[in-house]
């Protein structure tokens, strides 16, 4: 018998995992959404509106706590779901750099990072429907290339750095901004897949395929 000729409908982004566990990503980042899609086939996006402010204390702990706050803020909107939240910071000389407020601040950040090594830290938090939390912080080391001022200024003027911690994305400009990454590459993009997979599995979320960082 002939079919209707229509392509099959894609799965709903709010569908539950086959074992009944619904997953929510508490982030509006398209980069995190794409990366999470490598681990699970179905999830819902509910961005967190929490201000990205770190509490006093060791940065690795503060970033994980901030991610947990984001997850718990979204949890009431999906009380039966597992919530995944993340927060990424660029750290140099012990100082965490957030997202630049404007192109001028992006230029200043990139000039400070240029030719030097810094750390990229991503705090992760997973909250299940019972309120149990699993957290982790992934740290990678990145060396920014000695880019000329003209390139930095042109990149900043494009607006691309304004939604990125430290004023850059490792994949932008075909990677010419970065000389080296030591550690998880997906961490530098914003969601370390290895650590994320371990936390989700702990919360009972079924993964699509095994993955590396």
Q: Which residues are identified as catalytic?
A: 87
Q: Are 51 and 66 in contact (CB under 8 A)?
A: no
Contacts 24+ apart (CB under 8 A), 145-148: 145/114, 145/115, 145/176, 145/177, 145/178, 145/179, 146/114, 146/115, 147/110, 147/114, 147/176, 147/177
CA distance 152 to 174: 14
CA distance 109 to 166: 6
Q: What is the DSSP string of 92-104?
A: ETTEEE---SSHH
The tally of CA atoms less than 13 A away on the side-chain side of residue 79 is 1
């Amino acid at each position: 018998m002939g079919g209707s000729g229509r392509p099959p409908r894609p799965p709903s982004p709010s569908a539950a995992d086959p074992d009944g566990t619904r997953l929510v990503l508490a982030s509006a980042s398209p980069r995190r959404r794409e990366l999470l899609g490598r681990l699970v086939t179905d999830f819902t996006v509910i961005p967190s509106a929490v201000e990205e402010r770190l509490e006093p204390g060791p940065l690795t702990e503060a970033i994980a706590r901030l991610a947990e706050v984001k997850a718990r803020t979204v949890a009431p909107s999906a009380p039966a779901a597992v919530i995944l939240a993340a927060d990424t910071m660029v750290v140099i000389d012990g100082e965490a750099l957030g997202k630049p407020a404007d192109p001028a601040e992006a230029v200043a950040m990139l000039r400070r990072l240029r030719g030097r090594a810094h750390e990229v830290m991503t705090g992760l938090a997973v909250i299940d429907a019972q309120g149990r939390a699993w957290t982790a912080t992934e740290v990678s080391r990145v060396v920014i290339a000695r880019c000329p001022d003209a390139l930095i200024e042109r990149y900043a003027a494009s607006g691309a750095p304004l939604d990125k911690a430290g004023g850059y994305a490792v994949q932008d400009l075909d990677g010419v901004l970065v000389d080296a990454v030591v550690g998880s590459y997906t961490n530098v993009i914003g969601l370390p897949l290895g650590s994320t997979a371990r936390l989700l599995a702990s919360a009972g979320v079924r993964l699509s395929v095994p993955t590396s960082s």
